[in-house]
Structure 1
Amino acid sequence: MREVLDRSAGVRLSADEYRADFRERFWQSHEYDFWKLERRQTFAEPGDESWVAFSHGDWETALRLIAARRPQYESDARRMAELGFASYRVRVVEAPLTPYLQWELRLLRLMGATSDRVRVLDAARVGLHEASGPLPEVVTLGADVTYEVLYDDAGLADGAIRHTGAALTAACRQFIARLYESGEDVVAYVDREVAALPPPVPPRG
């Protein structure tokens, strides 16, 4: 997939510009489903209260804050149904799970049980597509918008490259959909592989 995302052909957005652009376009998707591919194993999300609690070692609070999002996700699910589109996510995972993924998978489990269709895929299943490097973080919206979402070395959001074009967006959507078909439902995966793990120890430094 990285080969088809020519960064020089897209528009570079800052983190704030990406968030604003995404919010404006998401609820206009209508007939076209939302697709997201996540490949990196660690991110930093200082704007997320649950992540902050996790990063401070307060696992109980992190889980409580995740659970508190259920009403919002249920509301999002109803709105997406009314507008006629769905949200699909593929989360690539490596073993052993990073502390971040232990946290994020709990969040994705709630999303999978309420608003989104989320599947988990072992990294070994995408190796064939990574001869030139790890798969990028990719989002498709509507008929013709694709974002390559960017992060710095610490995993902090660093904006995105926005590509427009129906053919490129369709190709990216189809690629993520094929990975989705090979994945496992996030609820089943988390209940089997994650739920019984001890609280993650966040990295220091």
Structure 2
Amino acid sequence: MPDLTPPPLPPGQGVTLEREDYRREFREREEEIRDRDSWKLERRQHFEEQGSASWDAMRRGEWETALRLLEENREALLATAREDARRRSFFHRVRVVEQSLSPYVQWQLHSLRLRAEYGETVRVVDAADLESAESAGVLPELVVLGGEVLYRVRYTGTGVPDGAVRYTDPRLVEEWERYLRRLHETGEDVQSYFTRRVEHLPPPVPA
């Protein structure tokens, strides 16, 4: 296992963005990216998805409905894949998982498996493999967008999106992009992980 100690992320270097400001800026920057990829790290084991009918069904305990609604999203995923190909800019994701899987992560892995079918490269890293890397605290939720900006995404204690902290120092962005690439390389492809660890599980019990 390679050294997965993360680079520093000094809080004083970043600019805090409120939720709507972050969402608007993210969309604008993403639309401008050409010929550069983006990277995302997801470490939390529970989020409250906003505007997802599938997640809402999952929270109501309607598992089959939740999965059906994910399947109905294929057309949107195809449209995103075509747009990524047009801009020659692709999205790579690292999903850290703890055992046993939380209801959210179990649901999300179904979603990520579908995303992978349409070109998003998703790799799964077991939290147990990050024990030494997280000796000073768990890894943050991060997005490196087009190699130009790093966002540390913020959430409330219950997992509701709460804006982000933006970093634009070129050296810091490069260090974290390189780190996320390394994490990605150590992970397992989501398709094989799903087959081994997820598809046989019974429906999760929502909290």
TM-score bucket of the superposed structures, by smaller chain: over 0.9
Q: Does 1:83 align with 2:93?
A: no
What residue in structure 2 maps to residue 179 of structure 1? Answer: 183
Q: Does 1:118 align with 2:122?
A: yes
Residue 165 of structure 1: how far off its partner (Å): 2.2
Contact 1:33 1:88 survives alignment (8 Å): yes
What residue in structure 2 maps to residue 162 of structure 1? Answer: 166
What residue in structure 1 maps to residue 39 of structure 2? Answer: 35
Residue 5 of structure 1: how far off its partner (Å): 1.7
The number of residues matched between the two structures is 203
Cα-Cα RMSD? 1.3
* 1:147 counterpart letter in structure 2: Y
Contact 2:7 2:179 survives alignment (8 Å): no
CA distance in 2, matches of 1:126, 1:21: 31
* 2:11 counterpart letter in structure 1: R
Q: Does 1:68 align with 2:72?
A: yes
- Structure 2, unmatched stretches of 5+, are none
CA deviation vs aligned residue, 1:98-132 (integer Å, no higher than 9, x gap): 00111111111100111310010111122221111
Show structure 1 runs of 4+ deviating over 6 A.
none
CA deviation vs aligned residue, 1:72-113 (integer Å, no higher than 9, x gap): 111111111121121100000011000011111111110011
CA distance in 2, matches of 1:79, 1:115: 11
Contact 2:7 2:176 survives alignment (8 Å): no
Identity of aligned pairs, percent? 45
Contact 2:6 2:179 survives alignment (8 Å): no
Contact 2:144 2:173 survives alignment (8 Å): yes
1:97 to 95, 101, 119: 101
The TM-score normalised by the length of structure 1 is: 0.94
The TM-score normalised by the length of structure 2 is: 0.94
Residue 3 of structure 1: how far off its partner (Å): 5.8
- Structure 1, unmatched stretches of 5+, are none
Q: Does 1:151 align with 2:151?
A: no
Q: In structure 2, the residue corresponding to 1:36 is in which secondary structure?
A: strand
Contact 1:73 1:115 survives alignment (8 Å): no
What residue in structure 2 maps to residue 53 of structure 1? Answer: 57
What residue in structure 1 maps to residue 29 of structure 2? Answer: 25
